[in-house]
Amino acid sequence: MLDSILNTVKKASERVQRRGEEVAQVARLRLEVFQLGRELDATYARLGRSYHGNAGAETLHGVRDEIRRIEEEITSRERLIAELGEDPKAPHTEGQQDLIAPVSPTPASGTPSAGPGTGTVNRPPFQDGGEGGSAGTAPSTGTGADSDARPDGTSS
């Protein structure tokens, strides 16, 4: 009887240890996804600055390739989280508390919005080929809401 109790306790402790290792791995992967998301945001900012600074098509293609690479890495890590039996979009696992609360954007009506790696992100679609421009974006005409004019009437 004592051997039976000892074996049960031993098996339970092994299960707890394995689960603890899985939780630690998921936490590491979530941290990587968070860091990659920040890197993705910075890369999108770089793309915007390059576009508005009239950078060449090669520069824009290089930044877009970097964006695709980061998105693939995020998707890969989210897939690993799902394989470990966790919801990749869940804010935390049992017994853990997030230090930073997730932020839910409130998009304008009709504007698609989702997190990185979901495929429904509010970003302009890229087109390979052509004259190096991005679909859905056009250079400023200097009039209207996309004008370079400042509120005080001067222009930049």
Q: What's the CA gap between 70 and 64, in Å, rounded?
A: 10
Q: Grade residue 79 by pLDDT with cuts at 50, 70 and 90.
A: very high
Tell me what pLDDT residue 91 has: 62
Average pLDDT over the chain, rounded to whole? 74
Give mean pLDDT, residues 85-89: 73
Q: Grade residue 123 by pLDDT with cuts at 50, 70 and 90.
A: low
Residue 78, both tokens: 């989210």
With b for 16 or more beta-carbon neighbours within 10 A and e for fewer, the 90-114 pattern comes to eeebeeeeeeeeeeeeeeeeeeeee
Tell me what pLDDT residue 139 has: 46
pLDDT at 134 over 50: no
Q: What's the CA gap between 106 and 138, in Å, rounded?
A: 26
Is the entire prediction scored with pTM above 0.75? no
Cβ contact 83:91 at 8 Å:
no
Q: What's the CA gap between 28 and 32, in Å, rounded?
A: 6
| Alpha helix stretches (DSSP H) within the chain | 2-52, 57-83
